[in-house]
Structures are given as C-alpha cells and as structure tokens.
Structure 1
Amino acid sequence: MAMETLSEAITRLEHAGYTESVAAHDDGKLHCSGCRSTCEPDHVTIDDVVRFEGDSNPDDEAVLFALDCGQHKSLYSIAFGPETPPNDVAAVRALSRRARDR
C-alpha cells in the first residue's frame, strides 16, 4: 500500500473538520490563523500525528499535527531536521510531551 502524502493527509484532515492552521511563534506558542488567538502547545488536544519520511533524502521529513484547541480544529505542519527553526522545535517538543502524557 502506498504511503499517504502530506497533501493527501491535509485534504483528509480538512474533510474531517481541521479547517484552520497554526504556526509557532518565537516563544514556541501556537498562533491560529483563523481566530488569531495564541495558545500554549500544552493546552491543545492532539487528535492525530502523521509523519512523513523521505525515501532517499532525510531533508524530506515532515510532521503534521491535527489539533483541537477547544474552539476549533487546526493543522500544524513543519519540515523537520537540522534546519528546523527554533520556534518550531520548541512547539514540537511541547506537543511531543503532551502526546506522551496522554
């Protein structure tokens, strides 16, 4: 079976109601594009995590989080590796702790 691509996962999750997107601020907090609110990664519910790993190039790695902040559902996607910006590293670390604790 073929692996799901990032765009296929985004489409699938958008159809499931994850219609907003979030980005990490410099302090690692998540900023919602829809309602313009900012929240701590520790305060969201992680509904799904999809990892993408490049077959031949480690630089093609990414992760997609399906998040629920209580007001709406959103997607947070980043490329990961040595070039990952510090704000995304901080947010992913917090989300990873959250996922481990659930």
Structure 2
Amino acid sequence: MKDSRYTTLTGALNDLKKRGYTEDFNLKENCIVCAGKSLELQPEEFYIDEVHRFEGMSNPDDNSVIYAISSSSGVKGVLVDAYGPYAEAITPEMARKLRA
C-alpha cells in the first residue's frame, strides 16, 4: 500500500481517476457502498491499494484521507473520509481493513 505523494486532495482524486479509480465509495458502519453500481462490499471483498492523507491548511482538525480501492469483482474507486476526531464510527473489522 502506497502512502501520500500528492500535495492536494483534488490532485490526488484527478490522478486516481485517470488511473482507473472511477467509482465513488461511501463508508458505512460495516461495509463500503458504491451507489452508482448498487454495490455493497464487505471488508473481505475489497483491497486498499493506496492511502493519501491531507491536513487542512487553516485548521489542523480539517483532516481527510483518500483510499484507492479495488474490489474482488474488479470495481475500482475512491473513498474520501475524515480522519482524527471527525472520522466515521465503524466496526472493528472495517477499522482493521482501513487502518492496516
């Protein structure tokens, strides 16, 4: 798993899209979902290929993370989430998957 090499969130999203990470994933408590494909993926059904973290310029609490994700079914996309105090509440299985 690679870590951040981008200086902006937008730059990372644009490059990942060019590299085939075209779907938008949303985080649920125990899975990720892709509304565009009506797809729900459990932790064992997807892989974290890259992680890119960003801190807010004006507010250190404004932190975000991009996960480049590929699924066992071949779907590739990104999940953008907060980290730190504003991170979503998720199950221990999802936490292990995303924080590995």
Runs of 4+ in 1 over 6 A off after TM superposition: none
Q: What's the offset of the Cα at 1:33?
A: 2.4
1:21 alignment counterpart: 24
User: Does the Cα contact within 8 Å between 1:78 and 1:88 map onto a contact in 2?
Assistant: no
What is the TM-score with the length of structure 1 in the denominator? 0.76
Which TM-score applies when normalising by structure 2? 0.78
| Aligned match of 1:45 | 47
> 1:1-102 alignment to 2 at 5 Å?
4-25=7-28, 27-70=29-72, 71-87=74-90, 91-97=94-100
Deviations 1:62-95 (A, max 9, x none): 1000000032101000122212231499744432
Equivalenced residue count is 94
Identity among equivalent positions (%) equals: 33
Segments of 5+ residues of structure 2 without an aligned counterpart are: 1-5
User: Which protein has the bigger strand share?
Assistant: 2
SS at match of 2:7: coil
Change in 2 beyond 3 A, CA 1:67/1:82:
same
CA distance in 2, matches of 1:58, 1:64: 17
- Evaluate the alpha carbon distance shift between residue 89 and residue 50 of structure 1 in structure 2; reply closer, same or farther with a 3 A threshold: farther
Would you tell me which structure has more helix in proportion to its own residues?
1
Q: CA deviation at 1:10?
A: 0.2
Aligned-residue CA RMSD in angstroms? 2.3
